[in-house]
Structure 1
Amino acid sequence: MNHDHTPEADGSAADGSRRTFVKQAGGLLGLALAPPLTGFAERFAAPAKTLAGPTDLTLRVNGTARTLRAEPRVTLLDALRENLDLTGSKKGCDHGQCGACTVLVDGRRVNACLTLAVMAQGKEITTVEGLAQGDHLHPMQEAFIKHDGFQCGYCTPGQIVSAVACVKEGHATSDDQCREWMSGNLCRCGAYPNILAAVREVAQKGGAQG
């Protein structure tokens, strides 16, 4: 009886398969343990280029270019208050939740406590100090005084700056809309009805210029 597959032949084939597997596995392991290509390694080993230490910054604030020296990590709020003596913007929560630090950057409301000063270079920054024209108050400032839109006054600068932008954005056409778009500015004294009255009056008169 003719047997095409003998035990010896099967054993040899099995040994050959095992040897082939071991060789392939060894090759893969060697490839995995081999050092990476030089360029790849150097790319990851190269030190990152970062700014460190104080550097010169130029901020255009209320229409005037102001130069200061500060570290890249300094916030816009601290740069305004500590370096440029513009203390109208207040530091409330320092987490972007209360709105006391609100300023305008290129006409848009931002929380200065969450914005790095270096990010505001080349942009137009407006603080509460820049709203009045000399002794002539901005219509929003006048409205806040008329409607007694403050008590302790700590949040007032941020409220006024935010209100100016709110009206210019067209987001003060109704009481509910105004409340929604001013909700990022908190008044811990609870002067909201008076603030709302001031903002709505300016919106109705179309006097949010500046």
Structure 2
Amino acid sequence: MGRRSDHSREELCELFVAAGHQLLAEVGFARFSGREVAKRVGYSVGTIYNVFGSLDGLILAINTRTFDLWADHLRARLAGERDDRIRALVEGYFSFAEANPHLWMAIYDHRLPEEMGLGPDDFVRRRALVDIVQDEITSALGSRAKDVDLATLTRSLVATVHGHCSFALTGSFALMQVEQPLELALARVRDTLAIQGR
């Protein structure tokens, strides 16, 4: 395919991220192809390297978009919830992963090269998800929050829920004949919150 110049760099970035996000949702990380993304956009595969520096740069941008959607999903689940916001948070984690399995798994399947880190914009956008969780944990702990390392606790609880969710989606829990992984994850979160600040 010949070189084109119909779009600005910002427009190209959006076109490639949108098309890549759609492809990743359809086929998953293992079958993701930069060439197929370029074909869908109508540019050469070399344009990916011109705009993102590498295929890893494109996947990083796609995964950051997934974080944006995930944070929006959690905010929507929490909106108007007064009775049990921790349950809404855990259910939101599971429901996003269940509705978007390829996109969710790609966040963890993709490994950035050692020499490539997150840019400031990507870091802030991804951090929004953790901030939502930390805000809810802080609220749940109330006055006890001042005695807790909230950043560490938040990451630990995210890891707990993630592990349960991952085992559920991959079928590992089913093989172990473990039922109701969401309820198990929620119970572990509640147990941990109950002992904090004692």
Is the pair's TM-score, using the shorter chain for normalization, greater than 0.5?
no
Higher relative contact order (CA 8 A, sep 6+): 2
Question: What TM-score do you get using the length of structure 1 for normalisation?
Answer: 0.24
User: More strand by proportion, 1 or 2?
Assistant: 1
